[in-house]
Amino acid sequence: MKEIIPITPSTGGAVATGDVVGRDEEISDLWSILEKQGVAFFAERRFGKSSILRKMDADGQDGFVSIYKPIEGVSSPENLASVLLDRVKEMDLIDEGVSKKIEYFYNKATNVVEEVPGVKLKKIEYSWQKKLLYLFKKLIEKQKDKLIIIMLDEFSIFLDELPNDEASVIIGFFRNITFENEFKKIRFVYCGSIGIDLVLDKIKRTGHNIGDPLNHMDLYELETFTDENAIYFGKCLNLGCDLDLADELIKMICERSDNIPYFIDIVFDKITKSKKNTELEKIEDAFEEIVNDTKGKASIKHFYDRIEHYYPRLEISIYILNFVSKSTMLVTEAEIANNVLVHTTEINRIEINKEIERLKNDGYLFRESKEEERAYGFKYSLLKLWWKRNKAY
């Protein structure tokens, strides 16, 4: 049995790397994959993706140099080149003399500079490309015999906020780098809570032919805690919050939270602040607050917002989720389609099936076989209850 360590709730803030528990297997998997290729690392919000990357960056691994950088809010590829240089300098990965050379190159690089010294990439059009290539080249020279892992957190949001032409160029540029012999020691990690496939689909719909820009990467989906690791995390919070919850109550919290780290964390936070009399009342009250919250920090509303912002047939997806949320059992594909067609006839069965598949791939639904038919239910009971209570009609 692992030693229980005291952990206090982070309630959505940055988790101290020493408090990132229950993810040893995933971290080991990621390092193993990165020996061979880059990773598109994705999951819904609140699953702990950023915490895992920050822990990997802080703890390190023999044979690797990791550069972790959150890039949500970085407004252009040009700015990305600058923030990556700043991060490299902050980490002292290059000495002062090399740093000054890079800064000099950054300052003189323009769109009319035709090449980067010592680099033979087929197509270099923009100054930010030249800056990044020069930075990567100097990193490889300095960090000999090591793989350089560039961890770009919220990469999907960064791409989505760029003009589509810029987004298509940068995703293609990073892919091309990995196929060049000079940069074979560079690996990218694209991390995001918005499915990168949704963003790429949006770029493609605007006429940009980007092919499959992730076909060189491992697509790694982070799942919730295992039962064992969820209970361990709950026991650590129990100790850190100076509570004395029985094991069966900790297990109940984890099960009702669907083993999602954030919601286990926030339930314990709410328990410590609750004015209710009994422990069970405090737990029930915490879950009621979560399920009724449509705008606060604990809200599950981001699942709805993602559909509203990214899904091409959002009204169809909403019809599907409304119907499934109100069912007490799995519903078949045919039952879902028939219900959608009650609301609109401007869609066919093939398109409905595509939307069902999108919702499954994006973590809303799971699929099982029911009397030799495909049948669906909500992947997370907490989301189902929230959707039924706040969105279904």
Start-end of H helices in the chain: 24-34, 49-59, 77-90, 96-108, 127-142, 155-161, 164-178, 196-205, 227-240, 247-256, 261-273, 279-292, 302-310, 314-325, 333-343, 349-361, 381-390
Burial of 10 per CB tally in 10 Å (0-12, 13-18, 19+): middle
The pLDDT of residue 94 = 81
Sign, CA torsion 376/380/384/387:
negative
Reading the chain (393 residues) residue by residue, the pLDDT tens digits are 689 999 999 876 788 898 999 999 999 999 999 999 999 999 888 789 999 999 999 999 999 999 999 999 999 999 999 999 999 999 988 877 777 777 777 777 654 445 555 555 555 678 899 889 989 999 999 998 999 999 999 999 999 999 999 999 999 999 999 999 999 999 999 998 777 888 888 889 888 888 889 999 999 999 999 999 999 999 999 999 999 999 999 999 999 999 999 999 999 999 999 999 999 999 999 999 999 999 876 678 889 988 998 888 999 999 999 999 999 999 999 999 999 999 998 899 999 999 999 999 889 999 999 888 999 999 999 999 999 999 999
The pLDDT of residue 157 = 92
Within 8 A by CB and 6+ apart from 350, the residues are none
- Report the distance separating Cα 195 and Cα 310, nearest Å: 9
- Report the distance separating Cα 298 and Cα 373, nearest Å: 36
- Report the distance separating Cα 351 and Cα 115, nearest Å: 47
Place of tokens 């066919």: 348
- Report the distance separating Cα 45 and Cα 49, nearest Å: 8
- Report the distance separating Cα 301 and Cα 131, nearest Å: 39
The pLDDT of residue 263 = 95
Q: Are 3 and 154 in contact (CB under 8 A)?
A: no
Q: Are 86 and 69 in contact (CB under 8 A)?
A: no
Within 8 A by CB and 6+ apart from 94, the residues are 88, 102, 138, 139, 142
Dihedrals phi, psi of 42, to nearest 5 degrees: -140, 155
Q: What angle do CA 363, 368, 369 make, to 5 degrees?
A: 155
Q: Are 236 and 7 in contact (CB under 8 A)?
A: yes
Cα separation values, 130 from 119, 173, 229, 371, 373, Å:
9, 11, 45, 58, 54
The pLDDT of residue 117 = 57
Expressed in angstroms, the distance from the first to the final Cα of the chain is 47
Q: Are 40 and 214 in contact (CB under 8 A)?
A: yes
The pLDDT of residue 120 = 53
Region of 363 (left: φ > 0; alpha: ψ -120 to 50; beta: rest) is: left
- Report the distance separating Cα 45 and Cα 143, nearest Å: 34
Dihedrals phi, psi of 373, to nearest 5 degrees: -120, 150
Place of tokens 């990791």: 66
The pLDDT of residue 198 = 84
Within 8 A by CB and 6+ apart from 160, the residues are 167, 194, 199, 202
Sign, CA torsion 161/165/167/168:
positive
Sign, CA torsion 297/305/17/140:
negative
Tokens (6 digits) for 261: 């780290």
